Chain A
Amino acid sequence: MSMDVAPRLDTDVLLDDPQTRIVVCCGSGGVGKTTTAAALGVRAAERGRKVVVLTIDPARRLAQSMGIDALDNIPRRVEGIGGGNGGELHAMMLDMKRTFDEFVEAHADPERARAILANPFYQSLSAGFAGTQEYMAMEKLGQLRARDEWDLIVVDTPPSRSALDFLDAPKRLGSFLDGKFIKVLMAPAKVGGKAGMKFLNVGVSMMTGTVSKVLGGQLMRDVQTFAAAMDTMFGGFRTRAEATYRLLQAPGTAFLVVAAPERDALREAAYFVERLAADQMPLAGLVLNRVHGSGAEQLSAERALAAAEILILASDPADPADPDGPDDQDDPADPEDALANAAEGSDPAKNGAAAENLADGGFVDPPSGNAQARNPSAVDPDVSPTSADSSAERLAAGLLRLHAERMQVLGREQRTHDRFTALHPEVPVAQVAALPGDVHDLAGLRAIGERLAVPPERANRVAG
């Protein structure tokens, strides 16, 4: 199988480039968008840029550690940013409802604004309406950009199952605001109650009647008042949505698609890559987050499990030598050469050739008690099992089982990654290792930032 090798995404080059003004982190739910956005913010600030990060629904501890756990829609300077390069990090957490309210206050006269904010229909709409969060994130981005106080804005996107939602929401909102239905709803209220009805043809007035009957008269009135009050803002909404959309297409913007090395997340990432291309939005690359590695890749899962099995049998006091075992086994292919090669090789963590050799060596589970006899060249002469070693054997078996599990994960991740690369060989990729714990402080964010910048050992590996 021929394998494409994706170009390597260098986030430092992206962050250091003064032309880069906006970085948008997109991806499906839970893949690490917020973490990546925050980590890029820290990294860019420590490399000397004046950055603001707009986060959406960050984990509580992460928000606390950045000092942005108060939902007040104001960017706050994050303490503890080092680097000594004169950089600054400001961060904020999006308050969707407040952004919506502020929008209303900014675009309607005070009396109208009050009427809108008090309207029950608005109250349920502004909190729950499909795409509001995405729209408000765009709105906030537009505001931050207009203030021109930062030379880099890093934007997180709302948790949604599809990264496409972020791009689709403003259009959906636009089509709602332009829709015929809302105009029909509004018509009577706009031209002054009943008198206005004559402007509507009979069909439509019948329809309004039906709607009113279905929704209940009083709800209908609320909707009408709302629609009328919002009317003055419709133009503003649309203009803003379009302006922000254009901002996203501008050369200073870079999209990063974040994905976990899992089938679903990478499938979403592939859709998103295609969509960005169709919309002429600049894609910087894919961040493959939470990738697993191993310092002992030369030891395959199968071999590790086989070896663990041997140790468990050997350490089992009820079945010390398993004397029948060896007779049941077929004579294994001779693994000597492969093992000898591997043992001779240099640092196993870096020696890919020896690893391949070993993996291809056709290791066969040698039965317990007989391992030494079968692999004389691989075994130290001074090693001989005693009962005191049985706890060491159990520990070693545990280490091997863990390793086998890790290697299985690696294999799966590599396969899903390869599938993406085959589809989109042109997309640069940065791999970020999975940290053992959550990422909830600046140190954790720094660690992620380093991993985004430093090519991992596996980047050059060509899977076959």
Chain B
Amino acid sequence: MSRLHVVSGKGGTGKTTVAAALALALAADGRRTLLVEVEGRQGIAQLFETGPLPYEERKIATAPGGGEVHALAIDPEFALLDYLHMFYKLGSAGRALKKLGAIDFATTIAPGLRDVLLTGKACEAVRRKGKDGRFVYDSVVMDAPPTGRITRFLNVNHEVAGLARTGPIHNQAQAVMRVLKSPQTAVHMVTLLEEMPVQETADGIAELRADGLPTGGVIINMVRPAILDHEAVEVVANGQRTAVAKALSRAGLGGARRGGMAERLVDPLLEQAREHAERVALERAQRAELTGLGVPLHELELLTDGIDLAGLYRLAADLRKQWPE
């Protein structure tokens, strides 16, 4: 059973939202999860309607059945100082490095080092045990970088282990890679039923597989109900126009005769239905594409009023029903 859930996907498809919903879902029934943010945008704080998260783990939500969600926004700069401290007991030298711009260099300019710190911190949380010898977190969910960067992000320690061929950095990098490549980890992809995100999902999964990283499921987000398909539209367009106009009229929408309000509604409504049917057909094709990937598919509906805390709990409940135990 995986304990580190990495949530990736094309930008804007709902990674942050889905990661938060998953953290809530996995915390149900008295469990404890850690939700980790690595992009420094305070998206989690916004979602849970709290102030900016400091660089420390803190409880941000209670899950149904008494579980807890904790959150951590990893700040690369603090993480680097942490890391230096952990390995080198650097006190004042750390500050001096900062003054020199080395920390800036390491965390913004060399994304590789930044990613080492981020993945390292997440893996540490996965492995951390309490005094009772049990894992502190039942699972860790990471709101990860988008599909285009995820493989590189997860593989960075492999690269680092190659660049720094000996020493503590090398060892740490290898330890992180061991977690990331094990079945303890699952990389999930969030997608919409649109061509580009689906294509990215397919490419992303292929890349993960090529690099031996464990793929999890695909979460199809913002699914809208299919109300009418092409067939129905054709039926209306060819022959049933009058009957439909009459039905609209019976529903109180004006006259069904030529020029009547109900009659004049038929064309614009049909046009909308045609567009809808086209979308439904496209979505069907995209869904088929996703089915072909051979990974579990999950679905979350589009909440038309946007995501607030209540909406987030709703998505979490939905996800929980679909998630393998």
Contacts and interface: CB of A to CB of B under 8 A. Distances in A.
Given A213-B88, A214-B88, A216-B166, A296 B112 contact: no
A308 B272 contact: no
B246 A392 contact: yes
B51 interface: no
A405 B235 CA distance: 21
Given A378-B255, A383-B250, A395 B240 contact: yes
Nearest to B270: A399
Interface string B235-263: 11000100110111111111111001100
A172 B11 CA distance: 23
Contacts of A207: 93, 96-97, 100, 102
B163 interface: yes
Interface stretch (B25-33, B135-143, B275-283): B275-283
A398 B196 CA distance: 29
A406 B236 CA distance: 19
A181 B167 CA distance: 23
Nearest to A311: B251
A445 to B, nearest CB: 16
B279 A436 contact: yes
B320 interface: no
B269 interface: yes
A203 B96 CA distance: 9
B108 A348 contact: no
B93 A30 contact: no
B306 interface: yes
A396 B248 contact: yes
A66 to B, nearest CB: 16
Given A392-B243, A399-B228, A399-B244, A124 B112 contact: yes
B272 A343 contact: no
A120 B304 CA distance: 48
Interface string A49-85: 0000000000111000000000000000000000000
Contact of B10 (A30, A218, A391): A30
Contact of A396 (B110, B199, B251): B251
A90 interface: no
Interface in B195-237: 195-196, 199, 224, 227-228, 232, 235-236
A348 B261 contact: yes
Nearest to A172: B108
B55 interface: no
Given A161-B41, A383-B250, A129 B110 contact: yes
Interface in A98-123: 120-121
A366 B274 CA distance: 29
A457 interface: no
A298 to B, nearest CB: 9
A88 B153 CA distance: 41
A371 B248 CA distance: 11
Given A294-B272, A383-B256, A396 B164 contact: no
A179 B101 contact: yes
Interface in A384-420: 385, 389, 391-393, 395-403, 405-406, 408-409, 412
B90 interface: yes
Interface string A290-307: 000011100100010001
Nearest to B224: A405
Contact of A211 (B11, B97, B169, B228): B97
A399 B278 contact: no
A342 B257 CA distance: 14
A180 B111 contact: no
B271 interface: yes
A320 B282 CA distance: 36
Given A120-B163, A180-B101, A310-B251, A60 B261 contact: no
A314 B250 contact: yes
A436 to B, nearest CB: 4
A182 B104 CA distance: 11
Contacts of B101: 179-181
A141 to B, nearest CB: 22
B308 to A, nearest CB: 12
B92 to A, nearest CB: 11
Looking at B10, B227, B256, B268, the one whose CB has the most chain A CB atoms below 10 A away is B268
A385 B250 contact: yes
Given A383-B250, A395-B235, A218 B165 contact: yes
A395 B232 CA distance: 7
Nearest to B278: A436
A371 B246 contact: no
Looking at A129, A383, A401, the one whose CB has the most chain B CB atoms below 10 A away is A383
Given A207-B100, A211-B97, A343 B254 contact: yes
Contacts of B253: 299, 303, 307, 378
B169 A214 contact: yes
A403 B266 CA distance: 11
B109 interface: yes
B93 A210 contact: yes
B194 interface: yes
A211 B102 contact: yes
B265 interface: yes
Interface string B165-178: 11101100000000
A66 B104 CA distance: 41
Interface string A334-356: 01000100110001110000000
A2 B271 CA distance: 33
A243 interface: no
Contact of A216 (B88, B165, B236): B165
Interface in A185-238: 203, 206-207, 210-211, 213-216, 218-219, 222
Contacts of B273: 398-399, 402
A395 B228 contact: yes
Contacts of A181: 100-102, 104-105
12 contacts: A29-B12, A130-B111, A176-B105, A210-B90, A311-B251, A347-B264, A379-B255, A393-B250, A396-B251, A399-B270, A402-B227, A402-B272
Q: Which 3 A-B pairs have the closest CB atoms?
A: A295-B268, A392-B243, A307-B251
Interface of A: 28-30, 59-61, 120-121, 124-125, 128-130, 159, 161, 172, 176, 179-182, 184, 203, 206-207, 210-211, 213-216, 218-219, 222, 263, 294-296, 299, 303, 307-308, 310-311, 314, 335, 339, 342-343, 347-349, 363, 366, 371-372, 374-375, 378-380, 383, 385, 389, 391-393, 395-403, 405-406, 408-409, 412, 436-438, 440
Given A176-B104, A348-B261, A399-B273, 7 more contacts: A30-B196, A216-B163, A296-B272, A311-B247, A379-B250, A380-B246, A393-B250
Interface of B: 10-12, 39, 41, 84, 87-88, 90, 93, 96-97, 100-102, 104-105, 108-112, 148-149, 152, 159, 163-167, 169-170, 194-196, 199, 224, 227-228, 232, 235-236, 240, 243-244, 246-257, 260-261, 264-265, 267-276, 278-279, 282, 304, 306
